[in-house]
Structure 1
């Protein structure tokens, strides 16, 4: 202890200041939020200091090398889009975030995300339902799914159409993805029918919530 005090005093006499290196706390709550295979990494900043910047890296599970995410180096925002890097549904991924202080150049340790699977962790948005009534009487059903989902998995999804009759009975129809329309016939005149649609991904064992209920009255 005496030698340490003497050393510090000697450095002080020589005009040399000794400054302890400041280590930033790491970001917290690092996680992927994925909807329709748009995979966004989010995190909570370690402090309220507005001078912090962030660096983001990613890797495939089992691979040793971490890779910088283009467009997510020295950023001030608290999220980063990793959809292009994590585009293979069958792979598992990790990401990590480090904070850097512009004012002091101090750095945090890396904060690691939980392991992420696009196939199992993404949430599927409900489709948009469009209805037209014709004179038969019939209802023409058109379904508009999320664009990103169709672009990625159009051959592996279909729709369930739920038709609620005036009696309260529910009837279910299957509709292929990207079909132009589904026509529901043999309906009663001047009766109200209500419909919902749902996206189904059978290979993933996933489905969306039902769309909002839409009701129409036949002619």
Structure 2
């Protein structure tokens, strides 16, 4: 009977070692530095490979979700169909979000991609709402845990490029025309939406004379 007990003990030890060994492996595959980079409302999810990944042998899977905020005011009465969100940590402040908006959606174009980025501009077009993105990696039949971004709100976090400037000399004067960057969104008539529809832009133009007096 002793050999059977020894064999059973070996199986239990082997099983526990295998289970314990999978967690460090999954953690080493987990994508790093997962975050949104946004310029002129072009919202790109970016990440770095996990510690165990080198080369192009791994693929990545991307999901996103939106959380619609119901009420940004300090209200102790929960609006209908909403749940308390944790985005407001100030005393007496409560932020409410709608039920049913917390489901993760697959980004089909980035499902099994080998790239280290994913364009989520169309999926994050409601620029005043907060979003989350997450990524997981797969390599040699092993899958990592999900790695999630901080909360991302395009309205607050996008970076607006400076305007394109055209200068024309007209009758001894300089005509300066500024063109604000276009947004990635379009009207129904396929015309780009100007950024002035979202922001009240103010420009300051400075003229510097670099000529040297002799």
- Find the aligned partners of 1:131 and 1:154 in 2 and give their Cα distance: 21
Structure 2 residues not aligned, in runs of 5+: 68-96, 185-191
* Residue in 2 that maps onto 1:148: 183
TM-align CA RMSD: 2.9
Deviation readout 1:126-152 (Å, 9 max, x if unpaired): 1111101122x2111112222227625
Query: Structure 1 pair 10/157, CA: closer, same or farther in 2 (3 Å)?
Result: closer
* Displacement after TM superposition at 1:40 (Å): 0.4
Preserved CA contact (<8 Å) 2:182 2:195? no
* Displacement after TM superposition at 1:107 (Å): 0.1
TM-score, structure 1 normalization:
0.63
* Displacement after TM superposition at 1:161 (Å): 3.5
- Find the aligned partners of 2:121 and 2:56 in 1 and give their Cα distance: 27
Find the residue that maps to 1:160 and give its secondary structure: coil
Task: For CA contacts below 8 A with separation 6 or more, give which structure has more relative contact order.
Answer: 2
Tell me which protein shows more helix as a share of its residues. Answer: 2
- Find the aligned partners of 1:4 and 1:97 in 2 and give their Cα distance: 44
* Residue in 1 that maps onto 2:169: 133
Query: Structure 1 pair 143/8, CA: closer, same or farther in 2 (3 Å)?
Result: same
Find the residue that maps to 1:41 and give its secondary structure: strand
- Find the aligned partners of 2:117 and 2:153 in 1 and give their Cα distance: 18
* Displacement after TM superposition at 1:5 (Å): 4.3
- Find the aligned partners of 1:121 and 1:4 in 2 and give their Cα distance: 62
* Residue in 2 that maps onto 1:173: none
Alignment partner of 1:88 is 2:121: no
- Number of residue pairs matched? 159
Structure 1 residues not aligned, in runs of 5+: 12-16, 167-190, 193-219
- Find the aligned partners of 2:40 and 2:207 in 1 and give their Cα distance: 28
* Residue in 1 that maps onto 2:56: 50
Deviation readout 1:46-89 (Å, 9 max, x if unpaired): 12142100000000135321000120100000000011111111
Find the residue that maps to 1:115 and give its secondary structure: coil
* Residue in 1 that maps onto 2:43: 39
* Displacement after TM superposition at 1:3 (Å): 7.5
